[in-house]
Structure 1
Amino acid sequence: MRRLLPHEIDYLSNPEQFTFDSFRGRVLDPLPPAAALGIADEELLNYYENTLRQDGRFVLRLDPNGDHYERLERYVAETAFLLFSGRNGDASLPDEALEEFSCFRHLCYRALHLFPESQKIAVLKKIGLETGLTPEVVDEVSTLFAAGSGLFAMELFTRLREAESADAFCTRLEETDALLDLAGRPTLLCPLWLHQSRALEAWLRAGGRGILEMATATGKTLVGLAAALRLYVVHGRLEVLVLAHSRALLTQWRREAIEKLGLSGNPGADYTVPLSYGGRLTLRFETLQKVYRSPDRYRADLLIVDEVHHSAGLQFRKALTVSAKWRMGLSATIEGKERRAPLDRALGPTAYTYSLKDAREDGVVPSFSLHLHTTYLDVREDEEFKNLSEQIVRELAVINGRHREVIRRLSNSRFDRFESIAEFVGLMRHLRYRIGDVPEAWYRLIGLVYRRRMIIHRSAPKTSRAIELARQLGAAKKCIVFSMDIATCDAIYNALADSVDAYRVHSGMPRSEVQRSLNRFRSARQGVLVAPKMLDEGIDVPDAEIGINVASSKTRLQLVQRMGRILRKRPGKEPVFHHFVALPQAYVDAEDAFAYQNDLAWIRDTALLLDIPVLHAPDTDDGIAGFRQRSEATVRDYLRSRRYIATDDFGTIRVDAILDAIPERLRRDLAGSLEPCSGHLTDEEWLAIVESTWRTGEVPSLSGMHWLLVLAGRDPGALRGLLLSGIGAAPAVDTSGSRVRAESLVPPARKDDRPAAIKT
């Protein structure tokens, strides 16, 4: 006879404690809703997992017999909606809608549990494309919450209802066998822009041969992937070989193939791991340096050569003799007949050209100056937000103090304390399918973190400075203000209407009124047009001289490029884009420092890539200036003792990868340019140095330049030492009086991914 386990004995001794009412009274009700939801949600996921796998891997806290988990499911739905009620002011959700959400949540879990974490989001995007939901919505939701969690499901469910796609989406979730095929099936998850479609069609008309000369940041990689997909769909089988001179570039190609085509694979693996779908579509990635030695060992149906100008040399051009039916070369520019001739022979002549001038005229690569304004978030739930921030700091301190052995065990001895909230959230996501005793306090904390992030996501930068800016500029020029939502749009419009010619458009207005406002603004000589998300609604947007963005601090390259379609350069006039970066007044240092510095990093890197001048507007609040300095110090201290920052919301920042992606010649030139510098380097000075070291036709990896500046403490000597590390004997750096020791900036090589801190 089998011996009873401790939890079984506990159940038989105290069955009344395993009811929903008892669980709610003892565990959930004493907690704030966000923390209670974290615990309730985790218990519900454990129940789902046991039910689906039927192996009892999780010890349940409720009796699986009876209606206890049905009531818990309703509690999760009601609490999740309560936390989302700020969206429309409703205090309750109708019973029918609660039922629909519970059904949707269960369907999501049943459908997604079949797939690894890295594939779940791609599956949802593909279903969205089939049912009328844009992939960007799924991306946005996934940056906030873990896929499968109650908050993730509620946010996605709400978006689906708004798009009137919920029924169709649920129907697809139920088709388990079809989902298994859909998961790996290559699908273009982001639409081609007009110039990309034209490039693809021109290459196909040329017989699937030729070079596409397309300016930097115009989406060459996506054209190559779209070509592979088109050929695969037509022929049913395809072997693709991608060649490039840089391992970092090939790894980026592989990652984009997963993200843009939805192929199965670990996005964190490097280029040496091929991608495949059912043995019918295979993508391999190799360096020119390897292939040119034995080109006869390689074959492909489609050969893609990126940065093809690098393969014009006598040695590298041998790699282009690989046997292939279709050939595509990609480059920003190819200069000189001597370089062009061998490429034309091997790949075919240029099939399509899209110059920087073309990209500027089309607004794909914007032509404007970018002004950054740092302000505080306009948090409507200000008191709750402050309380959440304080609770998160306290809870993390308690966990670090009391649970060091648990942290060590659950992290496989990689570390015994959490240095940041992002580190905690990352481990929690990996623990979803681990059998282990995760303390209840951890679930409370994850609920608080998600609630705080949701408030930030729902909030917009404070609009007072933007309104004053629009009032000043709109009196003589045409301005467009991009707001977060309809309520903010109306508030800005009402604040401006008495002092300047103001116009507004949003989805809550009749279509005829929207068109009338657009026409009036189009024919005006000056004034301000206010709109939320208007670029995503298919509206024919009139042009303007000034753009003011208060929509969100989490925008990315696509928004900046879309601005170029609106801000038109006129003779003697340079259009200007004002972008507001918002930060909360109630800080959680590591979490907010990383998020804020990441916002600045992508803006700076994007500006460098697109050759857009960036100016930082003066701070109007001493607290903001202090936070900027403190956030840089937080990031710098963290990176000094680690090889990377792994975050769950804005990716992984690897110092060694940033340095490896910069060609050795460029690193030496950058170091040489820094030699005469002294004092603190400003962002503008550092960007000017980077730009001055480029050579014609060279497109270095630009991602991460801001992180290097922050890591070096803006000290030229320390930055120089960092750039020269690992490429031969670095010259001695005089660090007397320096704020940061150069040798302390290079993270140590360790077996684990969590090195001990280095004292400096």
Structure 2
Amino acid sequence: MKLAFDRGTIRIQGDVRVPNSTWDERSRSYRAMALYYRDILDFLKRSGFDFDDEVLDLLPCPELHSSAVLRDYQNQALDAWTANDSRGIIVLPTGSGKTLVGIKAIAQLNTPTLVVAPTLDLVAQWRSRLKKEFKTEVGVLGGGEWEIKALTVSTYDSAYIHADKLGNRFGLIIFDEVHHLPAAGYRNIAEMFASPFRMGLTATFEREDGLHEELNRLVGGKVFEKRVKELTGTHLSPVRLEKIAVELTEKEKAEYETNQKIFSDYLARINLVIRGPADFQKLVMRSGRDPGARRALLARNRARDIAYNSISKMKKLSEILERHNDGRIFIFTEHNKLVYRISRQFLIPAITYRTTGKERSETLDRFRSGVYRAVVTSKVLDEGIDVPDADVGVILSGTGSERAFIQRLGRILRKKEGKQAVLYEIVSSETSEVNTARRRKKPLKQ
């Protein structure tokens, strides 16, 4: 028998059918996704078969040593991953040092490693950190660059495109922000890489669509988790959450109730209860053929717009800015319309998806140095960008996403002597925002 890597698959030449393989008439051999390489090895060894293994063609690798010292919970995370045959997912809050756990795993295995990250910003951060830690050149794949080294960092998009060629060159693959991996297309990365060792890193494991269940097959399942409340006050700054309810003006309230009634009446008429994204998607699909569904969606959007952008919220924000006039403040909103309104009214620099990379870096550098004391943003800073330390966060609007909430909370939790972080949520009372705010804080109560 012989095992060989072939364009993201394992070709098995011989008379034995191994688990997870199917017959390929063209090559007259059994094939399996490269994902199952390690399982195939285990099966053949347990069964006592003689075979030649030509699957891995690992890149030449220098000695990889790390002098970094882990905190107690980071050591626990690495030990749990190691005990699970160096496979699985580690869940740690934003700002708690997930990258360092990955670095120690690389040093521990001393094998060629591919790190996969969702954004070019994260790719650059990983590359810089790895070069500094291991004192060696680090390859990069993405953003127009193609340089393959024993340590290489790639975007998810580039790893997907080149998985058939690179799937047998790395012993360890680390998926940063691993909750992206189960998405259609991206999961093929894990399936087409034969890397026997796999690590996933994230602050938020669950996906609203339930696809996180796929991670057990793709990476190895969750092996360690620490929640925000377990680390605040020790390894993360103590934090105070303050929810502030504000009243709509009479005009805003009347417009809100009118639009919300159009939406709720339509749902009642078609007997649809919105329990999650799947139910809402049904309504969106229906709007393509049903004018009533379209009117209901537009009315819902108008109602949300009123709740998100109420006059009272701006007054309350003004009070918070005055109260923390010596603080470092991040202001988060759901939509860019409110970002620009706040920026104009309070003369606060804004960061949105329209902000160029250069301008964004300059803004964050000035915030870091104290030139700017506040920055207002929509969702662009939720993930994948190295954000300076802040001690005050203000959420003026947002979805019920637990992931977005944890990411935003993490922006103010970096430990600093004497620091007391505070996160304000300003919500419009007697609107759907109240339940939305309750849903997104669920992780802190578990």
Which protein is bigger by CA-based radius of gyration? 1
Both structures adopt the same fold (TM-score exceeding 0.5): no
Output the TM-score relative to the length of structure 2: 0.45
Q: Which has the higher strand share?
A: 2
Greater percentage in helix: 1
